[in-house]
Amino acid sequence: MDIFTIDELRKTFTNGEMKEEILKGISLTLKEGEITALVGPSGSGKSTLLTIAAGLQPASDGKILFNDNNITSMTAEQVRDIRAKKFGFVFQFAHLVPFLTVREQLSFMLDVSEVKMKNEKREQEIDYILERVGLSQRKHAYPSSLSGGEKQRVAIARAVIHKPRVLFADEPTASLDSKKSKEIMSLIQDLTKTLNLTTLMVTHDEEMLSYVDHVVKMSDGLVV
């Protein structure tokens, strides 16, 4: 089923009197259970496209349809609500909260997403996702004692603990070595399939493309 469609998306940035069109009419359909990777030269608009699709910044024109709702015409509050409950995010760096344990990072995310469940169920969900990302043994560890790869695994667990429908990943492997990058991509691939996520990622690393279902090449604000 198609649940996420980007239709003729445009973005213009204005610097003083200068206007620059960064996205020049992008149309794209993302599918459930599949990873779509945005690739292309630096400055081609990949991150801009991903952040607009994720409701993190407004479009200048065009539509983003999520389950038939047009995100570009929603109020800021409606977008915030969808972002918190239906979307998950992974970035180049894990951005973990230094004074929270691995378990607490996930519990905090459930609070932010307003997921309501009894304590016992909450602990089961946390245990389940930690097992899926291979971090059951690190449940009570603080970020400072984790390796780069482990931190990114926590970030991925945190991105999916609230059962989002769409996962946005901006250069999720850019701070890792080749072996760790492959492990992280394998994990994103596994979670995309088993949790039936719709995943949109940006990558510079050609080696990661063997883990994705669709590659979308961008150049100068257009899909080529």
Ligand X SMILES: Nc1ncnc2c1ncn2[C@@H]1O[C@H](COP(=O)(O)OP(=O)(O)OP(=O)(O)O)[C@@H](O)[C@H]1O
Q: What's the rounded Cα separation, in Å, for the pair 140 and 107?
A: 12
Binding site for ligand X (CB under 6 A): 13, 15, 22, 40, 42-48
- Of the two residues 45 and 149, which places its CB atom closer to ligand X in the complex? 45
- Of the two residues 24 and 85, which places its CB atom closer to ligand X in the complex? 24
User: Cβ of residue 199: shortest distance to ligand X, in angstroms?
Assistant: 17
User: Cβ of residue 44: shortest distance to ligand X, in angstroms?
Assistant: 4
User: Cβ of residue 45: shortest distance to ligand X, in angstroms?
Assistant: 4
Find where tokens 């030269």 sit.
Answer: 41
Q: What's the rounded Cα separation, in Å, for the pair 190 and 74?
A: 32
CA dihedral (7, 13, 14, 18) positive or negative: negative
User: Cβ of residue 142: shortest distance to ligand X, in angstroms?
Assistant: 30
Please give the C-alpha separations between residue 3 and each of 34, 62, 96, 167, in angstroms, as whole numbers: 11, 17, 30, 13
- Of the two residues 161 and 216, which places its CB atom closer to ligand X in the complex? 216
Q: What's the rounded Cα separation, in Å, for the pair 8 and 15?
A: 23
- Of the two residues 42 and 210, which places its CB atom closer to ligand X in the complex? 42
